[in-house]
Structure 1
Amino acid sequence: MNCFVPFVVFLQAYRGSVRPFVSFNAKHDAEFLHKAMKGIGTDEDAILMILSARSNDQRQEIKAAYKKAYGKDLVSALKSELGGLFENLIVALMTPPVLYDATKLHKAIKGAGTDDDVLIEILASRTGEEMKDVIKVYKKEFGSKLEKDVCGDTSGYYQKLLVILLQGAREEGIDEDKIQKDAQDLYEAGEGKFGTDEEKFITILGNRSFEHLTEVFDAYKKIANTDIEESVKGETTGNLENLMVAIVKCVRSVPAFFAESLYKSMRRAGTDDDTLTRIMVSRSEVDMLDIRACFKKTYGSSLYTTIQEDTDGDYQKALLYLCGGND
């Protein structure tokens, strides 16, 4: 499998590791979870078995059935019984995907300092429609506009590119007439001049479709004799560089982008559990099978084995369920 292909390929079939459970019964699952948390001690394996084997839509149905049967919020009940990293992961699984993204963005902006890694990851990788849904949920949940909050925490060209991505308005398809011109414009904005025309980079990387940009990057390499990613790194710095590089990587392959992020989250001094949990949960119903394949192809070891080496306990078991198997 070639990891570096346009993201459109991955839309052709369901590529998530978590699928809707076939013989689903929300009432039965709610009863099962109630028994797992009733009395002294908690049956974490039972909780894990149910929630990791259900789609997010099914988990929302279980949540509703639980409240109807027992008059309690299921997430609150789970929080009172669980702890640590396992609790964080289970709560994440119980959160609708759009709300999960909105919550992560809010925390990234409103927490102590700005978590630019989260901003960059979500805004660079989500589709336009996904971002529009996140913006609506963000306003409803937190009472403020996401764009306003992002602008309050960022500045300069980095802020401009984030705002463009927040519009979720990339052009569609490939414009054959623009491919060569866009490639030439990028070259003249960076490698081909003294200094850098950041505005030109922002306009092209922020507005063109992924399919179109794939063609532009190929044309750029012929003009500049170097990859666009290397040019971006040479012409920009800091968060702007990180955001542009993330966009380039997502254009080439969203699964490969996440495979690299997962690898870095586990192969540094101490595991970055926030990133590990966020990606494993948010991609489990999207493209985890492709992320897994890219991980194995790029790093020579399976994602499953790497998770085993870097985590433990119920938290590890949950991550391995979300991984969907060992390559």
Structure 2
Amino acid sequence: MSYPSNYPLFHQEGAAAYGQYPNSGPPPPPLNNYPGFSAYNVNQYDVGFSGFNPYGVPVHPQAQAPWAVPGYQMPMLQQMHQQSVQAPGQFQPQIMEMPTTSLLKSVDAHAMHDQIKHQMQMFQTISDMYRSGQDPSEKKPEEIIAKAEDDATPVTADSVRKCMADEDINLKVKAEMKRVFVAELLRRQAVSGTFELTEGTVKPFRRYEAGDPVAAWYSKNRGEDKTGQAWDPECDCEYLRDAMKGLGTNDDAIILVVSTRCNQQRQELKDMFKTLYGRDLIKDIKGELSGDYKELVMALFVAPAEYDAWCIKEAIYGLGTDEQALVEILLTRTNEQIKEIRQTYPNVVHKKKTAKASQFEKDIRDDTSGDFKKLLISASMGKRYEISHEKLSQAVQEVVNPDDGSGTGMFEVNYRLLSDQAKAKNEAQQLYKAGEKRWGTDEETFNRIFSSRDYYQLRTIWDEYVKLTQRDILNSVDRETSGDLRAGLRAIVMNIRSRPMFFAEKLRDAMKGLGTDERTLIRIIVSRSEIDMVQIKECFLQLTKKTLWRWIKEDTSFNFKKLLQALVGKN
């Protein structure tokens, strides 16, 4: 299945501005043939570039995100879910509990609230389509999701009950709900490896609100009021050009634009800037900025897969190896994202030569060693098992009202059906025999299981491991391995248990103590800003008892600090 991208085809001729892509300084400009489909996009159905989204559905001026349903405070269905799990009696509870740590269970409970609100909007939209004579089953799931997100009609528990009361269409709506829900879950798996809802702090810029600096500048200098109108890349380009003309630079203008437009919109700005002025926006910005601030801005103008590929190249080429960067990227990206990196990487390294498809794996093999090398090579294949459409369809079940056994029209995942319990017990035993039970460690067994099993099977294996050994898997990894291999195995465990917490820890480590690891700060904030930065911030607050915004304020300075803070957001 292909997944539409926020990052369209584009053409850029500014490669010469970066010389030979040195191992320090800003990342390279975009390639000429970046693929038209990407698994890096969490804003899959929420894109407003030039006033339209990838599916041709008009962008409603008051479109709501799936987690922001107006007029609905306490989800009826969440109460039903809690009762069905807790209540004994005639109706057997559906076991929906995910095999994880207590922290992730808490995160999952919060996601349940958001998921139900999302589905309530979907339920009403599909019901309305049937009532108006449309057949939702003839449309692609992503088109229905886009329509639901653009629908500004308030959703309440009463409105959902009213939809369900129409028996003629109720069964059709439920079948369509499941079809769309399964498709959306598979999309999330391609973006994050799991089925949890995530949210970025940087979203597509929809329209110019009252008081917007770009709209104010355009009104003053062009005599045209843009307030309330859809985003116009030409306006942004004129605003940026004015910010860089003459002596000095209006850094506030640059920070405003790059921090409030999504990556796809930044790509469109580069093309529009060259169309309007015959100038390269990247060259102009690079000539005006310096230091970490310049590197951060340059990173924001690079397509995601290409930026990951560049970071891997930087970690390998030159003196020494940045093992932390390799671990952070290769062991946290999904299969689809790894495939995009593999496709892009040869052109990043050999921009003036014919790209070699094998370059990615060869560079990793030549620059690392031992069991750590094997772990990275396994990850670089992008072949980890994933939940199939068939298995997921069987695991997606309707939430049942425990009072009368009636269906609610809402769906959730029965996580127990995603994993093979018998196989999990067997492989937990294999891990035990490979580590705790023997003298020395059979690293190959750890590599085989950790690198190939899907996220939900690994969560089950690790739960079984605790029952068998009375140790958490992380404790055994620390005891049985060392060095880079231990760091890699730990990254896999933390990433699969809770990716936001993994990145929250990395951000904390980049800023704590004396000095700051600016490159890690840039790499994480740029790469996660449109995927799961909202969840990373929540985990960071739990971890440090201070907000990420506050840590950045106290640990960085000047325009670098202002842009980082703008990307992560204060709230």
TM range (shorter): over 0.9
With over 3 angstroms needed to count, the CA separation of the structure-2 counterparts of 1:18 and 1:10, relative to structure 1, is: farther
The aligned counterpart of 2:265 is 58
Q: Matched residue of 2:513: which SS?
A: coil
Provide the aligned C-alpha RMSD in A: 1.5
* Separation in structure 2 between the aligned mates of residue 56 and residue 291 of structure 1, nearest angstrom: 19
User: CA-to-partner distance for each residue in 1:300-327, whole Å, 9 max, x for gaps?
Assistant: 111111111101111111011111223x
With over 3 angstroms needed to count, the CA separation of the structure-2 counterparts of 1:139 and 1:17, relative to structure 1, is: same
CA contact (8 A) 1:210 1:251 kept: yes
* Separation in structure 2 between the aligned mates of residue 11 and residue 155 of structure 1, nearest angstrom: 34
Q: Is 2:348 the counterpart of 1:141?
A: yes
CA contact (8 A) 1:3 1:256 kept: no
* Separation in structure 2 between the aligned mates of residue 177 and residue 123 of structure 1, nearest angstrom: 29
CA contact (8 A) 2:435 2:441 kept: yes
Structure 2: segments with no counterpart, 5+ residues: 1-101, 109-188, 208-230, 351-355, 388-418
Q: Is 2:208 the counterpart of 1:208?
A: no
The aligned counterpart of 1:113 is 320
Counterparts of residues 83-122 of structure 1 (less than 5 Å): 83-122=290-329
With over 3 angstroms needed to count, the CA separation of the structure-2 counterparts of 1:96 and 1:105, relative to structure 1, is: same
Give 1 or 2: higher helix fraction.
1
The aligned counterpart of 1:29 is 236
Q: Is 2:174 the counterpart of 1:20?
A: no
CA contact (8 A) 1:3 1:255 kept: no
CA contact (8 A) 1:123 1:162 kept: yes
The aligned counterpart of 1:166 is 380
Task: Name the % identity.
Answer: 42
Structure 2 residue identity aligned to 1:18: V
Structure 1: segments with no counterpart, 5+ residues: none
The aligned counterpart of 1:4 is 104
How far off its partner does 1:135 sit? Answer: 0.6
What TM-score, normalized by structure 2, do the two folds share? 0.56
User: CA-to-partner distance for each residue in 1:246-275, whole Å, 9 max, x for gaps?
Assistant: 111101111000000000000022011010
The aligned counterpart of 2:437 is 192
The aligned counterpart of 1:228 is 473
* Separation in structure 1 between the aligned mates of residue 540 and residue 194 of structure 2, nearest angstrom: 16
With over 3 angstroms needed to count, the CA separation of the structure-2 counterparts of 1:187 and 1:12, relative to structure 1, is: closer
CA contact (8 A) 2:198 2:535 kept: no
* Separation in structure 2 between the aligned mates of residue 222 and residue 12 of structure 1, nearest angstrom: 26
* Separation in structure 1 between the aligned mates of residue 196 and residue 478 of structure 2, nearest angstrom: 32
Q: Matched residue of 1:21: which SS?
A: coil
The aligned counterpart of 1:219 is 464
With over 3 angstroms needed to count, the CA separation of the structure-2 counterparts of 1:39 and 1:11, relative to structure 1, is: farther
How far off its partner does 1:3 sit? Answer: 4.7
User: CA-to-partner distance for each residue in 1:120-156, whole Å, 9 max, x for gaps?
Assistant: 0001111111011001000222234110000010111
How far off its partner does 1:176 sit? Answer: 3.0
Which of 222, 243, 249 in structure 1 is aligned with 2:488?
Answer: 243
Structure number with higher relative contact order (C-alpha < 8 Å, ≥ 6 residues apart): 1
How far off its partner does 1:175 sit? Answer: 2.9
* Separation in structure 2 between the aligned mates of residue 188 and residue 11 of structure 1, nearest angstrom: 32
CA contact (8 A) 2:193 2:334 kept: no
How far off its partner does 1:13 sit? Answer: 3.5
Q: Is 2:499 the counterpart of 1:285?
A: no
How far off its partner does 1:12 sit? Answer: 4.3
CA contact (8 A) 2:263 2:300 kept: yes
* Separation in structure 1 between the aligned mates of residue 236 and residue 454 of structure 2, nearest angstrom: 42
With over 3 angstroms needed to count, the CA separation of the structure-2 counterparts of 1:158 and 1:9, relative to structure 1, is: closer
Q: Is 2:556 the counterpart of 1:311?
A: yes
* Separation in structure 2 between the aligned mates of residue 85 and residue 4 of structure 1, nearest angstrom: 34
